[in-house]
Structure 1
Amino acid sequence: MNKLCRGCYYTSNHSSNEYGRIIIIWKDTISVRIRHQSSQAVTCEVKIQGTAPFVYTAIYASNERSERTDLWVELLNTYQTHSLDSVPWMLGGDFNQIVHPTEHSHADVNFLSASMVKLKDCLHHMSLYDLRYQGSFFTWSNKQPDFPIAKKLDRLLINSQILNLFPNCQSFFLPGLFSDHFPCLLDLAYKTPTHGTRPFKFYNYLAKHPSFHQVVYEAWTQAGSTAWNLTVLCWKQKQIKSALKTLNRDNFSQIQIRMSEANRLLQHVQVQAMQTPTSQLFEMEKQAVERWNFLRMIEECYFKQRSRINWLKEGDLNTTYFYRVVQSRMSFNTIHSFILPSDNILTDPLDMSTHAIQHFTTILGNPLLESPLCLPPPGLVP
């Protein structure tokens, strides 16, 4: 590696049929420390003011298959040597290799090759996955009109710790202009559009609360003992929804904080009970253990439902795994913008909301001014 100037490093990539460089440039307000470098990759620690440091690896893979295999081995060694499983890590650049047949535009490429499997296994072992992006799916083309080919050779990969540090980060693949590759622009502080209220969602763990049945019964009977028509049924459901929201807010909101507090209280009581063994302190310890275990179970149920993993049974206490799945799902499922038929992009939440309503109105028809199914029964005030 050679130093060009303050805030700029490059490494050269030489082989029998290619010549390339990896160049890293940064501003004085950013601190960069090179941790490992080779002809195909540069790994550095990046510190931006106001945030914790993270690791970034720039990739420029060789055109030669054997040399790319060496790169996958090198990445695995770097991952283990620098303990990158426990720190925020980004990895991006030109991999010169696809991981699935769908990442090749030619119909004849319809099977997993050994080269695809090697890269895919490597990324799986390092727990890396594509950061949600906007722009073209394919990132490289041969620019040959007689036999056009496009592939996804460029990617920006992250581990779950990156989403802890930059929960709203997003990448954009921009047009290549004069290049045969599409460049990737990363926004670490992308503002997620938000508008309106969140829809009600019933969490399964609510049924585990000791007062669940009583709360539902009281809310149901408050709007009358029997629902004779859909209007009354709709009103009863609204009453139950309001009661369940209150039950969730009062007992399970910020579940991670509640669980941590219960853990600290348990440790405090256990120390007191060992220093001064009394019946009262032992009873307090028993109650603290029960509450801590209960909240641990609630926390796992919460993240399991949000992660939508149905092939694991409750009780495995895979909360960390579920939390990572939730993070990745939220990153991929969040709608950041709309691309209109005119190729204009909407990012303002109000404009996006208006456009969505107009779009579905044309499909479903004009909305009713007032739905009789959502009116309260006579004599009841909402």
Structure 2
Amino acid sequence: MDNFSNCVAQTELIQIPVSGLHFTWHNGRQGEDSILRKIDWAWGNQSLLASWPLVKANFQARIGSDHSPISLSLSPPPPRQKPRFKILNLWADQEGYEDTVKAAWESEVWGNPISRLTSKLRILKGYLKLHHVLRTNCISDKARAAKENWRAAQHHLDNHPDDKEASAREREACYCYHKLSADEECFFRQRLRVQWLKLGDKNTAFFHRSLMHRRARNQIHSLKSETGEEVKDPVAMGGLAVDFF
């Protein structure tokens, strides 16, 4: 079992969400000699889940074998939804954040105390959205661009070792990359609710894999209506959930 776990970890495989039978193998005997076990799995890598985020494995009833046949369904990615507003912890450490909050909170509003509070919160939300667009939107792309810029600055400095301006540019590019890299780690750490990893240890690859796994695990592929009908359309599933609750 240890070797199996190590193999899965080293090959960076992720368990695909499954449905159907739980026990995938039966020895075909009856009574006390009957054995049911789950010894079959469905695995995928990060590229598979990135291309087919709704992938799902179904363990079907045994027919001509003592193992359950596995069917893999690939569905196109769901339509991109407008993300919900969420406070990012990394904003608090960024330059200009306190000024942004102060400017929003000093806006003039009228009404009773509760009305003024909610109005200022709405104004602050708009300010922070703009702050996100300017500072933290597409943080991974910015980190990759900063890394390439730092690499180019190092090559230029290597060809011009006595150029003080080249040395200054390399140092600035280095600082920019490490700052964006730390912001990217903080962003993914908050999204995944991982509390035990120390920031600054370059856990970005782990965060990306964990995010793929979490999305696949939490994805709702279908719902059953009161009549037993299986509903797979996202809009229909939403209506079914609203009607139920």
Range into which the TM-score falls when normalised by the shorter chain? 0.7 to 0.9
Q: CA deviation at 1:158?
A: 2.8
Q: Do structure 1's residue 139 and structure 2's residue 139 form an aligned pair?
A: no
Quick one: distance in 1 between partners of 2:183 and 2:151? 20
Q: Count how many residue pairs are aligned between Structure 1 and Structure 2.
A: 243
Instruction: Provide structure 2 residue ranges, at least 5 long, that are not aligned to the other structure.
Output: none
Quick one: distance in 2 between partners of 1:226 and 1:290? 46
Contact 2:52 2:76 in 1 (8 A): no
Q: Are the structure 2 counterparts of residues 252 and 194 from structure 1 closer, same or farther at C-alpha, using a change threshold of 3 Å?
A: same
Aligned to 1:170: 56
Q: Is 203-212 or 334-343 further displaced after alignment?
A: 334-343
Contact 1:193 1:347 in 2 (8 A): no
Aligned to 2:97: 212
Contact 2:54 2:219 in 1 (8 A): no
More strand by share: 1
Q: Do structure 1's residue 281 and structure 2's residue 169 form an aligned pair?
A: no
Q: CA deviation at 1:152?
A: 1.9
2:156 to 272, 279, 293: 272
Across the aligned residues of Structure 1 and Structure 2, the Cα RMSD in angstroms comes to 3.1
Q: What are the equivalent positions in structure 2 for 1:279-318 lying under 5 Å apart?
A: 279-318=164-203
Which entry has the higher C-alpha Rg, 1 or 2?
Answer: 1
Quick one: distance in 1 between partners of 2:199 and 2:239? 40
Quick one: distance in 1 between partners of 2:110 and 2:51? 51
Contact 1:174 1:183 in 2 (8 A): yes
Contact 2:182 2:200 in 1 (8 A): yes
Quick one: distance in 1 between partners of 2:92 and 2:43? 39
Q: Is 271-280 or 330-339 further displaced after alignment?
A: 271-280
Quick one: distance in 2 between partners of 1:346 and 1:308? 31
Quick one: distance in 2 between partners of 1:158 and 1:196? 25
Quick one: distance in 2 between partners of 1:144 and 1:279? 80
Q: Are the structure 2 counterparts of residues 233 and 141 from structure 1 closer, same or farther at C-alpha, using a change threshold of 3 Å?
A: farther
Aligned to 1:238: 122
TM-score (normalised: structure 2): 0.82
Contact 2:14 2:45 in 1 (8 A): yes
Contact 2:25 2:68 in 1 (8 A): yes
Quick one: distance in 2 between partners of 1:136 and 1:237? 49
Q: Are the structure 2 counterparts of residues 237 and 151 from structure 1 closer, same or farther at C-alpha, using a change threshold of 3 Å?
A: farther
Report percent identity of matched pairs.
Answer: 27
Q: CA deviation at 1:228?
A: 1.6
1:258 to 134, 142, 163: 142
1:265-310 CA distance string (max 9 Å, x none): 2233333344454443333333222211111111111222223221
Give SS of 1:182's match. coil
Give SS of 1:155's match. coil
Q: Do structure 1's residue 154 and structure 2's residue 40 form an aligned pair?
A: yes
Aligned to 1:380: none
TM-score (normalised: structure 1): 0.55
Q: What are the equivalent positions in structure 2 for 1:64-75 lying under 5 Å apart?
A: none
More helix by share: 2
Give SS of 2:42's match. strand
Q: CA deviation at 1:328?
A: 0.9
Contact 2:51 2:77 in 1 (8 A): no
Q: Are the structure 2 counterparts of residues 266 and 204 from structure 1 closer, same or farther at C-alpha, using a change threshold of 3 Å?
A: same
